[in-house]
Amino acid sequence: MSQSSNPSKAARRRAPSGNDPSLLIMTSLASGPKHGYGLFQDIESFAGQRLGPGTLYGAISRLEERGLIEGLEPEGRTRPYRLTAAGQLALQETLAEMRRLLDEGTARLALGPRLTAKARPA
């Protein structure tokens, strides 16, 4: 079965996650260019996550390959990265999707839990 014929699976695959290294990097770069260690420190400060160096650079290489970020001129042994226009658009779309999910979840919680017939106590 192709991916497009299974929308729920495709949707799950696309669903943004708050601890996705790519999303964390793009969010960090939204405030300006940073090199690897700058990203590492910034992500730790705003998300409380210490990304492993392999995880961080794996995500950087993928984002660069997809044209969502780009490397600037090297500064010594490091190279700053910045969001491209496509990266800004992708980040906006992802955050909008997360906001929709956040609003939906908040609204449902406000209505209170509705127990299913199976879970309802006798």
- Residues in touch with other proteins (CB under 8 A): 2, 35-37, 40, 52-58, 60-62, 65-66, 77-79
**Least Cβ distance, residue 71 to other proteins (angstroms):** 9
Nearest to 24 by CA among 41, 47, 45: 47
Nearest-angstrom CA–CA distance, 71 and 17: 24
**Least Cβ distance, residue 3 to other proteins (angstroms):** 9
Of the pair 14, 114, the CB lying nearest other proteins is at: 14
**Least Cβ distance, residue 63 to other proteins (angstroms):** 9
Question: Other CB atoms closer than 10 Å to residue 29's CB: what's the count?
Answer: 26
Please answer whether residues 83 and 91 qualify as being in contact, where contact means their C-beta atoms are separated by less than 8 angstroms: yes
